[in-house]
Structures are given as structure tokens and as C-alpha cells.
Structure 1
Amino acid sequence: MAQTKSASLILLLMLCIGKTACLSGSMRGWLTTGDQRNLLRQLSTIHASTGGGRGVHINIDRTRRYQTMEGFGAALTSSAAYVIHNSPEYDEIVNELFSPYAGIGISYIRLPMGASDIQAEAPYTYADTAWDFNLDHFSIDKDRHFIIPVIKKALRVNPSLKIMGTPWTAPAWMKTSNRLQGGQLKRDANINDAYAKYFLKFIQEYQREGINITAVTVQNEPLNGNDQYPTMEMSWQQESEFVKHHLGPVFRSNNIKTKILLYDHNWDNTDYANNILDDHDTSQYVSGVAWHCYGGDKNAPLQVHNRHPNVDMYFSECSGGTWASDFSGNLMWNAETLFIAQPRAWTKTVLLWNLALDENHGPHVQTNGGCKTCRGALTVQSRGGYTKEVEFYLIGHLSKFVKPGAVRIDSNTGQNINTVAFQNSDGSVAVLVQNSDSNSKDVTVQVDNDNSRSYIYNMPGHAIATFLL
């Protein structure tokens, strides 16, 4: 008899993990409102009712399946790592950010490869010794000050954490400007070979620390030549040639499984990625395209996906700051434009800029330019204590409930109610719902048009909720 019950439970579990079975008779929800009275607050359980429901109908169709999600999070810049590592609440902050149980379970971070525009120490790369073509002096020692310790601690609470590495610049001696700021990668085969080896050694040295790099982007903001902080311009032609003749072959010959992502810049230029991907000799090495929010149409990833459906899309950067201080306005814009619209445009990640910064939006090295008004997901006070910003709650509404490996599934949107839905590998369904109207609205959540189980909730105005079925 016990064996029969066990066999039945196994069969039931297999059906639940499939596409068509095993939702519970209740729905749980977590709510954040623009007035900050509710901040990722768990709601009372919502029990199913029969009939057609009322208000705005949200139907989730598990048979219409899209991309597999990889994760949600933000960037661990030098400054972010510094404030986390040096906080009296170090362990607590790591748990708040990365623990799937005690915190919001951030599942993906972006890591500058050396210097960026938000820097707690003097800008550096891993190969600052000039004309070292063999990279004999390559070193990640400066990352060991606080970046690597924070990553290791995060991995202890969330071993499945994924990491995207991104260079803001090549070493100065490889560039036309001969400095970390501005300029381009020199058009010299030996330089390009050395720079490809730079990526290889970065991945290998981090592996020796027990840290796997999931993906790298070829260049952060390759159309940004700002000479006040580390940058490097790279035309689509140059990026294509670098991947085709140097980076891709080096990864392949060394059996590197780290994904290569293109572009890593704003929505306002789809030609950059399309032009590269049109060349099969380059695209054979490319896994995806990364996007930023600072210009253009939020549907740009969808446009590139439609032209190159076998190439994955990633959303990799957007920052809040003092220029946008209204909690409700930030909640609404980010929910609609990033956390809902980007997965609906086929991105596999939604990553914001800094995980954490101090009360002065830093710390900043005085000699380094860059954003002095950006906001982290956490504000960590120099003398202890921290504040959860609107970005923390936005990330949490997906990272806590949509697990890596979840598949985006179909859900309708309209009447100022925006949605995106996912099915986790355990069969559970998570749907993020935004009410962008100032007035509350009744919403009815159904799965696969099942009128026998309708979940009705009165959604406050200017609010987001994640429902788990």
C-alpha cells in the first residue's frame, strides 16, 4: 500500500512539473504600493471561487511558452562591494539581497571587469603592465579586497547565483587613447589577441576562486566615449571582428562555456546587434545581446529577437537616482518598462545598476568621473544601518518568486493592468501584476481559462503585486 501511495505521489509530481496540472486551490500574493504602506507585504491567502470573476480578467496560458529565465538582480560595482563588505551589517545585507529564504533571492549579478564609472578605489584593469602581450602580470588581486569576498559570501547563501562580467575598458596600453578614459581598442592583431586572452584569464582566475562567470559582454556601452571615466568606444564592425577573429576562437579552443553577449548599450540602436548577427562567421560564437534603458524604445529587444530568434536577449542595466526621487513614480515606471516589458520583449534577465551605495551615492574616487547621483537598491549608511530603496522591492517581486529555469508563459494585459507570468520548474505559476491607475481595480486571475477557479483581488492604485499559484 505504501508503495502504491509513493508511486501515485511521483506521478502527481510529474504532472505538476508538466504544463497542465496541479495548481492549488488558493493563491498567495505579495504587495507593494506607491504610498509605501505595503512593501513586499504578504497578503492573506486568496481562495478560489467558481464563476467568471469580476473586474479586469488576467488569463494565464501555460500552453503558450516563451524564453527560459536566467535571473534578476543588479551590479556589484567596486563601490557596491565596498559598502556591503565594510558594513557592520555585512552578513545581514548579504542575506537580504541573496538568500532565497531570508531575503529576496537575487539570482544574477553584473560584475565590472576592473574599473567602471562608480569606483571605490583608483581605476584599474587586470593587466596594467604595458606591452605585456602574454599577460604574465595579469592579476585579479585588487578584486580580492572586497569584491571576491562579497561574491563568495553571496554564493554561500545562493549557490545558483549567476554572474555577467563586463569591461568598461581594455588596459590603457591596448587603446588609442593610452589611458583608461575614452579611446578605442587598437587595430593591431597582437593587441586584439592579448585582449581576447584578457577575457580568458579573467574567467580562469575567477574559476580558481570557485566563482563561475556565466556570461561576458564584449564592451559596456560601446558607443559611449566619455573621457571623464573609464570607457572604450567600439563600433559594430570592430566588435564583430574582435569576436570573429579573436574572442570567439580563444573561447572555443580553450573549451570556455561562458556566453558571449553583444552590444550592452541602449534600446535606441538595434542596427548594432543586427549588423553583427547577420554575419554567421561572428554569430556562431554569440549567445545573446544585452540592453540598457537610457534611450530608445523598450521593445527594442523584441525587434532584434524577431530578426534573430535563436539569439537570446538580456537586460543588463538601468539606474535610479536623485533625479527621480518619487517612490510611486519610480515603482510604476520600473515595473511597466523594465520588470514587465523586458521579459515580454524576450529578455532572460532584468538587471539594475548598483546593488548598494552609501548615503552620498558612492563612495567615489575623486579622480574618477561617472554618476554622482545614482541610487543603489540598498543605501548603506557609512556608520551602520541601511535602507531598502524602491529598486530593492522591484527586484524582489520577481527574484523571490521566479526561479532560474522558469519559463515565461502567456498572460494578457490592458486597462492599466500590466502583467508578466512565469512557470517555475516545480509547476508553480508566478505572475507580476501592475495597476498603473490611481484607483483600485478588481482583478480576476485565471489559469488556462479555468472558470471553476477564479482568484479575485481588489488591486490598489499605483501598486504592484506578485501572485503565486
Structure 2
Amino acid sequence: MTRQVLRLVAIGAAVAVGLTGFTEAQAAESVSARVWVTTVDGAELMHERAPVAFGRPVSGNPNPTVTVDPSREYQTMDGFGASITDSSAAVLYRLSPAEREKAMRALFDPATGDGVSFLRQPIGSSDFTAASSHYSLDDVPPGQKDWTLSKFSIARDQQQILPLLRRAKQLNPQLKIMATPWSPPAWMKTNDSLVAGSLIDDPKIYAAYAAYLTRFVLAYAAAGVPVDYVTVQNEPQNGGANGYPTTAMRVAQEAKVIEILGPLLRIFSPRTKIIGYDHNWQTHPNDVVNVPPGQDPETDYPYQLLRSPAGKWLAGTAYHCYYGDPSAQTALHDAFPAKGIWFTECSGSHGAADPPAQFFRDTLKWHARTIAIGTTRNWAKSAVNWNIALDSTGGPHLGGCDTCTGLITVQPDGTFTTNAEYYTIGHLSRFVKPGAVRIASTSFGTTGWNGQIMDVAFRNPDGSTALVVHNENDDPRTFTVAAGGRTFDYTLPGGSLATFTWPRNRVLDDGLRLLPLRGATATSLPASADAKLAVDEDASTRWSAGQAQEPGQYLQVDLGGSQRFRRVAIDSGGSIGDYARSWELAVSDDGTSWRVVASGQGTGQLTNVDVKARARYLRVTNTGTSGSWWSLADLRLYA
């Protein structure tokens, strides 16, 4: 009887194991991506569509393929959001308590709202203040000094800003706070005013200002809002008299303050890191004009700051959107790869005659390609807009921008509405969690607009993947998403923004690792200086033969040293139809003696060639004929 029972138990266990294995296999086979879409006409606003299933790749795929590869990691993400300015707090407090709570949940709740996870808070007033005059946290009558900071107070913040910050942190405990002053207290400045002027060049002033910033950090922590990051000055190259607090602070001055502030924070608030610069991608011409004659305009401000003795105290650098483009972030990262980059301010703005529908459309498209995707593909650990909330007039404000918009608008009837920025931030903050890592994905669009599919991908701490995709074109575009050995096709309406998410699944891991091509060089026939664009790890650029396809055209790559690889991806990207009609792949150890390792017919934009090879050189040769040009956006190697 005992043996029979044991036998039955063993059989049952075996059956259970078999069923379990079957279930897991079935689950792997049926993995799907969830999809949320926002369209330019507002018909879909973060609308969840039907999920789309991954399947086996289809031969002859005519679409550009977004290849998502978690084996290549970039920056770790801190979060996405905006600023609860004095003005934002004031308009939120115009709402009834119930409506204000509804707005806060719409903004910060990760389960039902945008899940905003990063706020950049002004220290004192900015151009967006509801007060009748500008203020710092240590104001004294003109001509007086307050060396002991006896007048320091955050009493004004205690009224509305801090209660909102505490509620935001309750709704999203992962929320990070960055703090930035628009001006030091007036008594520390050359013109004794919060508007324009510069910091007095005096060691005592530098020490007093560092103490002021430290006092702010400690006061906020005591009020239940710990500060994760602080910068010394908002837009230090903007010293103009624009009716709101500004301060021209040259590199040497900012560095001197940081060299005092760094040790103070290490002692009193070690969690709080210092970020430098906090200004545009490129120095604005107006800021250059305002530099006194004979002085260096410091157009390389962040480079000088990071090279200075203050650099050791800096976690990295922050950027704004108002001049230049996000590629400046990658250039700085390449020069200082150990330092982080944060994107910390951009505002949607509109003209007086802009129709609301057109404004929504234009803002969604520009912010989608430039901020949501452009900044994050260029190493930003955050993507942060300006005001989180304003009223229907774009205020209140005191000087500065009179055409800015917030993530939400508080309406005269006591309700609030959502703006395009609510969705461009939400397509990130809802799905990309703090601690997520950006991973490799092929993207064909540019921040300058080229009408292609543009994207950025992340691996969340729980192993799930989030892919944010924008169709730059005004017409619908179909593309393919590839993860591991599986793919799906999707069509997005013109101008729309979408987020795709899928869980970690073993079937989407093909075991291959993307190899870096840094240092690789390329030549081509027909000869072209653009050959390098096929190996620049940027699918928005391309090499093209520039003529109809004919046998003998080739792209040759020198890897700079012998490498072992298992796959070569030959990707014609967004240049639809410009794939080689037939091809041959050869490798060489010396660039002279070649051996053919694969050949085949081209049937679509992306051809994956699985080989087992070790070589320094490889050459892809076109062996077919076509009236179409032959273009290569990306040549990728995998091990």
C-alpha cells in the first residue's frame, strides 16, 4: 500500500511538473505588449488600446524595425515632472479641497495618475510668483547685511508649497526633489536687488550664500520634504533685468560657492547632491551680448565648471531647452562620463492668436521628440517641465514669461484641464519608474524633425520594459518592434505618442549582446565620407550609395581589433526600399585576404545574419541590381 501511494504521488508530481512546464511555455509564447496612445487631435489621451502580441519575425518585412536590446545599458533614471512654483501652489489652492485632491492624484498618483516622480523647486521666488513683489528666504532692508542669517525663513513656503510637496510625496514616495534659487538674497548682490546684478565677489559672501543654501535644505528636511539635489543658480548666464529674479554668476563664482557648499552638505545633509550650470544646451546670443567687454562669454560654462576644483563636488550638470539642442548633453557626457546629466526645465508657450487645438498639436509633437525622447536618448536622468499648474491666463506671474503653460490648467469655474505636457511627461512617468535604466533601441527620428519613427526604451527595476515611440510624420506610419527573437508590427497615427510595456520574459531574450562599435571606422564603394554614419550607433543617420544598386557596391568596417561575433544586423532603417536586393558578407583579419561567411537575398529593411566569426574587418557587398539606392542606417554586431 505504501509503495502504491508513493508511486501515485510520484506520477502526480510528474504530471504537475509537466503541466507547469506547459503553462510556462504557453505563457512565453503568448507574451504581449500593452499600448497607450495620445493623438494630436486629442481623440486619444493616454488611451489604452488592445494589447499586441509578440510573434515570430516575418520574412520580407517592409517596415523600419525598432530593435530593443537590454544588453546595452545607459543612464539610470531619477524621474519626470515639473515644478510646484509659488504660482502653481496659488492656483492649486484656488480649487476646492476635493478638486485639489483630484488634481494632485492626477499628477502624482502612480496607479491612477501621471505618477510625477521629480520636482524642481525654486528657492525663493521666480518669475512665477503670486506675490506682489519678489522675495528670497532672507530679506533685509536695502543697505543691510544678515551675516548670521537671522532673518532666514521658509514661512511663506509653509503656507501652500510645503503642504503640496508633502501630499505629493505621500502619493508617490519615490518622488525626488531638486531645489534651485533664481537669485541669492539681495544683500549678497552687487546691485542690492533680486533682479539682475551678480554675486558680490567676497569670500564672506560665498560662505554666507553656501550657508543660506544649506539652511534651506535643512529647513525643508525638517518640514518633511528632504532635498535630493540642489543647484547654486538658475540660468547663471542670464543676468538680464527681465522683471524677475536673475543673477549673472560666472564659472569662478559658482565654483567658489560649490567648494564651500559641498563640505557643508556632506556634513549636514549627505543625501543632497550638487548639480552645476542649470542653463541652456547652448549659450544664448543675448547672454553673450550681455557679457561685459573683455570678459570671456564662457560658452563652455559646464565644461569649465566640471574641470574646476569644484568639479569633485558635483554629481553632474543640468540643462534647459531654450537654446541649442539635446545633443549637447551627449557631448558633455562623452567628455565627463562619470558625471550625471539632468534635464530640468522647459515650458510650452503659445502666441496670443494660437488656436487651442493647434497649440496642443504643436506642443505635443515638439515636446515628444525634443523632451520626452530627445533628452533621454542624450543621457538625461530626468525630464522636467516648468510649472506644474497655471491658470487660464498663463499666470499668475511677475515678470518673465507671459505665454507659458503648465501640465494642468486651473480654469475659472474651479475645475482643471490637462495640457499636452501632461501627456508627454505622463508617457514617461507612468511607465518608467525611478531606478529604471535606459537600454539600447534603434531610433530613426531626429529632434530637428525628419518625419521618421523616434523612440527610447527603458528596463524597469522589476525587469519590465517600457518603449516610448513618437511618429514624427503627419501621416500614419507602420513600424516593427523586435525584442529578442520576437516581433510585432504597429501603426501609429500621425504625430502621436505611444508607450508600449511588456514584462520580463525568457522568450524575449535571445542571449545575444550588442557589441560597442566605438573606434570602428568605415569606408565604402562608391566612396563617401558618410560611410562612418553606418557605424555611429545612430539609426537616424545613414550611408547611401547615392545611386541605383549594382553589384560590387560595399561598406567595409575596421573594428580596430579582432572581435568574435555571432550576428550582424544590416539595417536600412527608415529609408524604405533602400535594402540590398542580394548581399554577401565577408570577413578578414588583415583587410586584404577575405573569406565569405554568408550570402543571401534582401527582403526587407532589416537583415539579421547569424554567423560564427572572429575578425577585425568585415565587408557587406551588394550583389544585386535595383533602381533603388542602397542605404545603411546601422550596422550592428552581436556576441
Settle same-fold status: TM greater than 0.5. Answer: yes
Residue 216 of structure 2 is matched in structure 1 by 202
8 Å Cα contact 1:222/1:234 also seen in 2: yes
When residues 93 and 23 of structure 1 are mapped into structure 2, their CA distance, relative to the original with a 3 A threshold, is farther
Residue 63 of structure 1 is matched in structure 2 by 71
8 Å Cα contact 1:22/1:427 also seen in 2: no
Cα shift at 1:49: 2.0
Cα shift at 1:459: 1.5
8 Å Cα contact 1:54/1:456 also seen in 2: no
Q: Runs of 5+ in structure 1 lacking a partner?
A: 13-20
Residue 245 of structure 2 is matched in structure 1 by 230
| Structure 1 range deviating more: 143-152 or 327-336 | 327-336
1:44 partner SS:
strand
What amino acid does structure 2 have at the position aligned with 1:243? Answer: I
| Structure 1 range deviating more: 385-394 or 21-30 | 21-30
Partner deviation per Cα, 1:308-343 (whole Å, 9 max, x = no partner): 001100000111122375222221111111111111
Aligned counterparts, 1:398-409, within 5 A = 398-409=428-439
For residues 423 and 389 of structure 2, the distance between their equivalents in structure 1, rounded to whole angstroms, comes to 13
Partner deviation per Cα, 1:360-385 (whole Å, 9 max, x = no partner): 11123xxx311122111111013311
Of 277, 289, 292, 2:306 maps to 277
For residues 125 and 477 of structure 2, the distance between their equivalents in structure 1, rounded to whole angstroms, comes to 47
Residue 298 of structure 1 is matched in structure 2 by 326
1:145 paired to 2:168 = no
Residue 349 of structure 1 is matched in structure 2 by 382
What amino acid does structure 2 have at the position aligned with 1:123? Answer: H
8 Å Cα contact 2:217/2:269 also seen in 1: no
What amino acid does structure 1 have at the position aligned with 2:53? Answer: H
The alignment yields a C-alpha RMSD, in angstroms, of 1.9
Residue 47 of structure 1 is matched in structure 2 by 53
Partner deviation per Cα, 1:92-124 (whole Å, 9 max, x = no partner): 000000000110100001100011011111321
TM-score (ref. length: structure 2)? 0.68
Residue 317 of structure 1 is matched in structure 2 by 345
Structure with the largest fraction of strand: 2
Q: Indicate the percent of aligned positions where both proteins have the same amino acid.
A: 42
TM-score (ref. length: structure 1)? 0.91
Cα shift at 1:156: 1.3
Q: Runs of 5+ in structure 2 lacking a partner?
A: 1-8, 22-26, 284-298, 446-451, 503-639
Cα shift at 1:236: 1.2
When residues 23 and 276 of structure 1 are mapped into structure 2, their CA distance, relative to the original with a 3 A threshold, is farther
1:302 partner SS:
helix
Aligned counterparts, 1:186-265, within 5 A = 186-227=200-241, 228-244=243-259, 246-265=260-279
Cα shift at 1:54: 5.2
Show structure 1 runs of 4+ deviating over 4 A.
21-24
8 Å Cα contact 1:54/1:444 also seen in 2: no
For residues 270 and 183 of structure 2, the distance between their equivalents in structure 1, rounded to whole angstroms, comes to 22
1:327 paired to 2:392 = no
Aligned counterparts, 1:364-375, within 5 A = 364=397, 368-375=398-405
Cα shift at 1:436: 0.8
What amino acid does structure 2 have at the position aligned with 1:127? Answer: D
For residues 30 and 104 of structure 2, the distance between their equivalents in structure 1, rounded to whole angstroms, comes to 32
Of 464, 481, 496, 1:463 maps to 496
Partner deviation per Cα, 1:437-468 (whole Å, 9 max, x = no partner): 122122211113x1xx2122112111111000
| Structure 1 range deviating more: 256-265 or 316-325 | 316-325
For residues 202 and 471 of structure 2, the distance between their equivalents in structure 1, rounded to whole angstroms, comes to 54
1:159 paired to 2:173 = yes
What amino acid does structure 2 have at the position aligned with 1:436? Answer: E
Partner deviation per Cα, 1:130-174 (whole Å, 9 max, x = no partner): 421111221100001110111111111111111110000001111
1:86 paired to 2:106 = no
For residues 116 and 463 of structure 1, the distance between their equivalents in structure 2, rounded to whole angstroms, comes to 33
What amino acid does structure 1 have at the position aligned with 2:137? Answer: Y
1:442 paired to 2:478 = yes
For residues 255 and 212 of structure 1, the distance between their equivalents in structure 2, rounded to whole angstroms, comes to 9
For residues 360 and 337 of structure 1, the distance between their equivalents in structure 2, rounded to whole angstroms, comes to 25
8 Å Cα contact 1:23/1:428 also seen in 2: no
When residues 229 and 293 of structure 1 are mapped into structure 2, their CA distance, relative to the original with a 3 A threshold, is same
What amino acid does structure 1 have at the position aligned with 2:263? Answer: P
Of 117, 124, 136, 2:135 maps to 124
